[in-house]
Amino acid sequence: MSRTLIIGASGQIGKKLTRNMLNDGQKVAALVRDKNKLSEFDDANLSIIEADLTKDFEHAFEDCTQVVFVAGSGGNTGADKTILIDLWAACRAADYAKNNDIKHFIMVSSIGADAPSSGPEEMQPYLVAKHMADEHLVQRGLKYTIVRPGTLTDDEPSEQITTERPSNKDDAKITRADVAKALLYIVKNPADSNLVTELFNGNKSIAQALK
Ligand SMILES: NC(=O)c1ccc[n+]([C@@H]2O[C@H](COP(=O)([O-])OP(=O)(O)OC[C@H]3O[C@@H](n4cnc5c(N)ncnc54)[C@H](OP(=O)(O)O)[C@@H]3O)[C@@H](O)[C@H]2O)c1
């Protein structure tokens, strides 16, 4: 059975995705800095790998077939962590995936990563990091899905999404829970070809929006 490596499994989306995948009976390798952050999980299908993304983490890829990169430096850290996590760790994950013959790499990127110069000035360093990490993945020659959610919220999931960017930028949001549900769908239903898609709250089922 295939095993999916979730990089950033202790994060807000990462934990929800880990839960969704285990509830679905899937095997998960969860990369976290601190295994205590996953103490609520008790499942034979879960292996926890403690690793720091600023160090070597290639061992985490062993026996995995898919990867979801959902780590991030977060909004309360500085430019150093943006470079080390959002850019460099994401690039290294793509390199490790190539070395380890990973069949499908799912990158959680961000709205605006396609055109960093058009984003708000304070977001541009982050958007450049996301842009370059996405480009690096594309150039590795792996099968990939790049997911670019709008602004993340902690609202309840509606399971109604869209891949079409709303005309009003205040509506360019999506719940973390719906992103986690969409990621489960993508893990289980990899598109036939490489895909880059934005994700927002919307009015289609996840399957309809992503088919
Ligand atoms: N905020 C937004 O509106 C927005 C919009 C679009 C896309 N995104 C992207 O969505 C993704 C997930 O968002 P989220 O809210 O779920 O993020 P989050 O809760 O901040 O989770 C980030 C994860 O990265 C891990 N991490 C950070 N540094 C690490 C390190 N050195 N070694 C190992 N793990 C490390 C964290 O581990 P710890 O638990 O140990 O800290 C955590 O598991 C990110 O890639 C973010 O850039 C965000």
* CATH number, position 13: 3.40.50.720
Number of domains in the chain: 1
Q: What is the distance in A from the centroid of ligand 1 to the CA of 163?
A: 22
pLDDT tens across 31-52, in order?
999 999 999 999 999 999 999 9
Ligand 1 binding pocket mutation candidate from 12, 49, 96, 130 (most atoms within 8 A of CB): 12
Report the 3 state secondary structure along 126-188: HHHHHHHHHHHHHHCCCCEEEEEECEEECCCCCCEEECCCCCCHHHCEEEHHHHHHHHHHHHH
Domain span holding position 81: 3-210
Q: What is the distance in A from the centroid of ligand 1 to the CA of 9?
A: 9
Pairing type for strands 195-201 and 144-149 reads: parallel
The DSSP letter of residue 189 is S
In the predicted structure, residue 75 carries a pLDDT above the cut 90: no
Q: Report the pLDDT value the prediction gives residue 104, as an integer from 0 to 100.
A: 98
In the predicted structure, residue 159 carries a pLDDT above the cut 80: yes
pLDDT tens across 171-206, in order?
999 999 999 999 999 999 998 999 999 999 999 999
Rounded CA-CA distance 38/45 in Å is 13
In the annotation, is 185 catalytic? no
